[in-house]
Structure 1
Amino acid sequence: MPRVTLQTIADRLGVSRMTVSNAFSRPDQLSPALRERILAAAQELGYVGPDPAARALAKGTTGAVGILLTDSLRYAFTDLVAGSFLAAIAEELTPTGLALTLLTASGSDDLVPARDVAIDGALVYSCDPTSPAVAWLRRRKLPMVFVDQERAEDVPSVNIADRDGAGAAARHLLDLGHRRIAIATNGQHGRYGFITDPDDVVEGHSSRQRRLGWFDVLKPAGVEPVVIRHPLERTDDVRRDTRTLLDRPDRPTAILCFSDATAVGVLQAADDLGLRVPADLSVVGFDDGPLATQLQPALTTVHQDVEEKGRLAAAALTEAIRRSRTGETGPVPHVLLPATLVVRGSTGPAPL
């Protein structure tokens, strides 16, 4: 069957091709009656609409923005905090008509998403700053916003005060009398398991800032924490190594976790060994996502406003795209949202 085009509809109705095109792209140029006739004919003939690639070429815009994630897209669909962040972005973008395209930081020889996918701009979310994908976005000179990334002077950014929040969590445990404290953190690359030198591993921005915040408080108090490290989604590995950690005679009385999801693995390990939380072990998470209040006991954690972070990131990107199109210059905005400790039932005084 021959492909139905704008000219096909124009020939059917005895009007110009431009008139038919206006019915789809500039409806204010036609009378309601004429536009209705054109749309009815298009439906009858099975016309699927203007070719997106041709329309993008003509307008100089794709109508889509990318979000560059870590190596695995699975994280975007399984992590509740990442899901809330993406939902807030989508909600903020809805009135603009921009679509959201997920990009992985990895690719193949034939397809590198950051290089090959047509987008008008990109959010770079919690990625390795040395990633080739970030370099490709820069090379394309696309408007960008960094989220949970090391700040760059020429790129707008939205970050959380991770270091302050982590420091508050560590101070809370010291105030409760804990001195045998462990850390369960995350990483996407490098060594996993028990880490003897945290300075010797590759970390993302949030991981590094939270580690610095914990150590800012623990080291002056003379506390040398044991550190275990795993990819964010590998709670089973966290559970296994925490079990090993808690099965020692000198087991920690408290554990600081990179995230609420990490805390799940820690709590499971404590339960495996019959340890009571918080009587035998205090646990602190980070994020204050939906999990925090669903756990038993409810999780002491550091709150970050994930939805506000998503809204601000999307707004910053649409503004960066607008400025790129108009050639407007000016200061590049950098937003730092607070991170505050929320004390619940998973922390208590150090056991005697």
Structure 2
Amino acid sequence: MSRPARATAKDVARASGVSQTTVSFVLNGASGHVSQETRERVRQAARELGYVPNGSAQALRKGASRIVLLNIEGIPTGSSLGSYIRGLDAELAAHQHVLLVLHGHLSSQALSDVAQAVSARAVIDLGDAGRADVIATGASLDVFSAQADVPVRYLVDRGHRHIANAMPDTPELQALAGLRERLIRQATRTAGLADCPALVLPASLGAAEDRLRAFRAEHPEVTAVLAYNDDLALVTLAAMRNLGLRAPEDLAVVGFDDTPHGALFSPALTTVHIDAEAIGRIAARSALGLPAPDTTPEPARVIVRQSA
């Protein structure tokens, strides 16, 4: 007779009605903004399901070294990520830890093998928030995607009532782009706007022109675009220029990440800036099980330029 399948962190998350990242926080004993009621609900679900963390997760918690791994697979290396890594590295260094950044594609098992090979103190996995067994803190993934309400309010204040969400068609970015899309849709609903259609754009300018032309024909009511990041916003502006469209007169465009080259384009790109360095410091303290710092990150803000 076959043995029953072992309960996983995903099962615990489903039973307790929380994310796998929250399950990891609670069962790994990490500090974080999780209420006592939620912690108890997760522990109760784990007891009822007979969940036992796997050996790699235990190895991470008991890691003998002072190395923290950061996996950034699929995350664009823009200004926010660079600032985040600087803050993370500086805070870890202040507590005598070393940051090791992984860029390549790694399976869950490969990431676990690397962590065990270096006896990692913790793993911060921005590449896949679903790998709960090897995540010390995956909350940072949400931070890069959760600022949707700021640009939505900015556009609403300027009279826009139909906003599109420009997303990349790159497969490795779909998890993060999908999260941002859901948050933008939520922000537009909260603002009382119509549903937010998705404008999926390839990186190729010619293909982007064709996609934008078809999108405009299908959604003539859209007057503004919130792009996944500054790079995609600039692709949108370049495609608009080749189609004879003006920003912001025909279509307002807002990027995300406040990369330096956005200010050099014509029209200069309006974008969203986040305090990623402070977020990195908070992630470092959370990964080490330390209390959060007294200071909080500065609120996200729109860098107003010519495109919107």
* TM-score (norm: length of structure 1): 0.56
Answer whether contact 2:209 2:242 (CA < 8 A) is retained: no
Is 2:282 the partner of 1:312? yes
Residue from 228, 231, 244 that aligns with 2:199: 228
Is 2:36 the partner of 1:65? no
Answer whether contact 2:223 2:250 (CA < 8 A) is retained: yes
- Aligned residue identity for 2:112: A
Indicate the structure (1 or 2) with the bigger Cα radius of gyration: 1
Q: Tell me how far 1:135 sits from its aligned partner.
A: 3.6
Matches within 5 A, 1:294-309: 294-309=264-279
Alpha-carbon spacing, 1:243–1:337, altered in 2? closer, same or farther (3 Å): farther
Is 2:160 the partner of 1:178? yes
Q: Tell me how far 1:249 sits from its aligned partner.
A: 8.5
Answer whether contact 1:180 1:254 (CA < 8 A) is retained: yes
Q: Which residue of 2 aligns with 1:115?
A: 113
Long gaps (5+) in structure 2: 1-61
Query: SS state of the match for residue 64, structure 2?
Result: coil
Give the distance between the partners of 1:83 and 1:206, measured in 2 at CA: 19
Alpha-carbon spacing, 1:83–1:239, altered in 2? closer, same or farther (3 Å): farther
Residue from 205, 225, 237 that aligns with 1:267: 237
CA deviation string 1:300-340 (max 9, x = no partner): 222211222222222332x32xx6xxxxxx89x9x776323
Answer whether contact 1:284 1:299 (CA < 8 A) is retained: yes
CA deviation string 1:226-267 (max 9, x = no partner): 212468xx4756565234324669263221222222211211
Answer whether contact 1:186 1:207 (CA < 8 A) is retained: no
Answer whether contact 1:304 1:338 (CA < 8 A) is retained: yes
Give the distance between the partners of 2:78 and 2:169, measured in 1 at CA: 15
Give the distance between the partners of 2:172 and 2:241, measured in 1 at CA: 29
> Taking every aligned residue pair, what percent have the same amino acid on both sides?
28
Query: SS state of the match for residue 137, structure 2?
Result: strand
Alpha-carbon spacing, 1:101–1:178, altered in 2? closer, same or farther (3 Å): closer
Matches within 5 A, 1:137-216: 137=134, 144-149=136-141, 159=143, 162=146, 165-186=147-168, 205-216=179-190
Q: Tell me how far 1:271 sits from its aligned partner.
A: 1.4
Alpha-carbon spacing, 1:273–1:310, altered in 2? closer, same or farther (3 Å): same
Answer whether contact 1:64 1:101 (CA < 8 A) is retained: no
Answer whether contact 2:88 2:284 (CA < 8 A) is retained: yes
Long gaps (5+) in structure 1: 1-58, 139-143, 151-158, 193-200, 324-329, 348-352
Query: SS state of the match for residue 220, structure 2?
Result: coil
Q: Which residue of 2 aligns with 1:40?
A: none
Q: CA RMSD in A?
A: 3.9
Alpha-carbon spacing, 1:81–1:294, altered in 2? closer, same or farther (3 Å): farther
Q: Tell me how far 1:149 sits from its aligned partner.
A: 3.8
- Aligned residue identity for 1:211: R
Alpha-carbon spacing, 1:102–1:191, altered in 2? closer, same or farther (3 Å): closer
Query: SS state of the match for residue 112, structure 1?
Result: helix
* TM-score (norm: length of structure 2): 0.62
CA deviation string 1:3-42 (max 9, x = no partner): xxxxxxxxxxxxxxxxxxxxxxxxxxxxxxxxxxxxxxxx
Answer whether contact 1:148 1:206 (CA < 8 A) is retained: no
- Aligned residue identity for 1:308: A
Q: Tell me how far 1:113 sits from its aligned partner.
A: 2.0
Give the distance between the partners of 2:70 and 2:244, measured in 1 at CA: 42
Q: Tell me how far 1:67 sits from its aligned partner.
A: 0.9
Give the distance between the partners of 2:210 and 2:133, measured in 1 at CA: 38
Count of matched residue pairs: 242
Give the distance between the partners of 1:160 and 1:249, measured in 2 at CA: 28
Q: Which has the higher contact order (CA 8 A, sep 6+)?
A: 2
Q: Which residue of 2 aligns with 1:30?
A: none
CA deviation string 1:146-204 (max 9, x = no partner): 24346xxxxxxxx3682xx4233223323333344322135775998xxxxxxxx9965
Q: Tell me how far 1:205 sits from its aligned partner.
A: 4.2
- Aligned residue identity for 2:140: D
CA deviation string 1:100-138 (max 9, x = no partner): 231656339xx612334322211122x4433xxx24416
